[in-house]
Amino acid sequence: MSCCSGQNTTALSDSDAVKAVNDAYSARALRSGEDAQHSKAVAAAFGFTAEELSSVPAESYMGLSCGNPTAFAKLKEGERVLDLGSGGGIDVFLAASKVGQTGQAIGLDGSAEMVALARGNAAKQGLKPPHVAFVQVALEKDLPIESNSIDCIISNCVINLLPLAGKANALKEAFRVLKPGGRLVLDDIIARKPLPPHIKDDPVGNVNCISGAITGGEYEAILDDAGFKDTLFVDRKSDLNVYWQDRSSCCQGTTDLMGRPEWPQDFDVNEWTGSYEIYAVKPASGEPVTAPPTSLLRWWDAYPTVKASLPFLTAEEVATLVRDPVLKSNDKVAVIDVRRNDHAGGHVRGSEQWPAQTFYDDLPGFFERHKDTEKVIFYCQSSNGRGPRSAGWYQDYLDSKPQGEHTSKAYVLAGGIKGWKAKFTDDSGLLEYDP
């Protein structure tokens, strides 16, 4: 028996099982770096080289893997890679180094804390969207990825964490987003034989990647049903006890289910389960497929969700501000056009152009420019999307700064440039067109 007593082995509903996994992995993300020696030992045990580990932030690997999918994915320059369950980001970073600046590496994870950790690790590496992106998403649901846009999908010890229906949907979605001829390269835990109920229904065992394992036959049936061909399973013959070695205590708080499960002493995890490499391909089609410029359905998913509540100003209120010579001469008001390609089609006279697609990454420089600008007013076409989003990112950035570092505040021009043009069509002092 383990050092923990009173462990619950009642089967959870699918939604509760997903929540338990996300809660446990979120708690782990908040403690990244605390157990560096164990994390490194697990990574090495499952195939990561010392050179690979030294090339990424230590917080990007946390002893949660069961393989090294990028080592055998045969990634090439310019390819697009999708990681299902990206954690702290190690597999995405290694993939990004292989596909280069002309490629794209996207990580999806169900834990907001894991996504925040991975984004922070990416910043340490100087990596940013669209080349490298991390997005929070429920992996058991539809993925925010364009169809037929990914060359290779990788995943490292994650599909087993999903309920059976979630596994099936995740792999159907994987098939959808892969280009014809694209490949699936997974590392996952597979049951060598059907698990007994007291193991299969154990929520701690599920979080630890064991109890959710299905047999190879079940796994292959799901892949076949999704449409994959040429499926291959390779037993890594790894010792799964490495997950629980060198830990002084398995009980680390009620939200952390990552201690050794409370199983009978005669239960041999390596007899019942194993770490496997899994390969499959999406059959090639006879017709050419043109991939979109980026594989993300919504570019802004790669950035944090706005927290701030934003005030809106009417066109008349903004016009009064920009006409005020005192405010203008003292840089107390600034109007920001966050559209990328349609600035020339008419804009607020004197407005600065900061495209929304790169605005979040430009926040430090933008803050230095406008930290003493009392009213910073954002707009896009109708101020329903890019304008409020960029304003929110700026206000969240301001709110993260200590009091006294700035006097700035973000606003949104209600109605955007569309409303502005309707109000001031004939006023060249307020509406300007590029030559």
How far from the centroid of its chain's Cα atoms is residue 255's Cα? Answer: 22
Write down the pLDDT at residue 117. 96
b/e per residue 293-317 (b: at least 16 CB within 10 A):
ebbbbebbbbbeebebebebbebee
Q: Would you place residue 5 in the very low, low, confident or very high pLDDT band (cuts 50, 70, 90)?
A: very low
Q: What is the mean pLDDT of residues 384-395?
A: 97
Q: Which two tokens stand for residue 395?
A: 């206000």
One-letter identity of residue 208: N
Distance CA 228, CA 231 (A): 7
The pair phi, psi for residue 234, each rounded to 5°, is -125, 120
CB 92 within 8 A of CB 134: yes
Write down the pLDDT at residue 407. 95
For CATH 3.40.250.10, the residue range(s) in the chain are: 312-432
Distance CA 434, CA 84 (A): 44
Closest C-alpha to 168, from 148, 139, 145: 139
Q: Say whether domain 14-302 belongs to CATH 3.40.50.150.
A: yes
Q: What is the mean pLDDT of residues 181-199?
A: 95
Please state, as a whole number, how many other Cβ atoms lie within 10 Å of the Cβ of residue 372: 13
Helix axes 90-99, 112-125, angle to 10 degrees: 40
- 178, β-bridge pairs: 150
Q: What percentage of the chain reaches a pLDDT higher than 90?
A: 74
Closest C-alpha to 147, from 47, 208, 197, 80: 80
Write down the pLDDT at residue 257. 53
Strand arrangement of the beta sheet that strand 132-136 belongs to: 132-136, 104-109, 80-84, 150-156, 178-191, 273-281, 229-235
Closest C-alpha to 411, from 270, 277, 314: 314
- 133, β-bridge pairs: 106
Alpha-carbon torsion 194, 199, 202, 207, what sign?
negative
Cβ burial, residue 398 (10 Å; 0-12/13-18/19+): buried
Write down the pLDDT at residue 250. 32
For CATH 3.40.50.150, the residue range(s) in the chain are: 14-302
Q: Which CATH architecture has domain 312-432?
A: 3-Layer(aba) Sandwich (3.40)
**252-276 per-position pLDDT tens digit:** 333 445 566 777 777 889 999 999 9
Average pLDDT over the chain reads 91
Helices and strands, number each (H, E), in the chain: 16, 14
pTM: 0.91
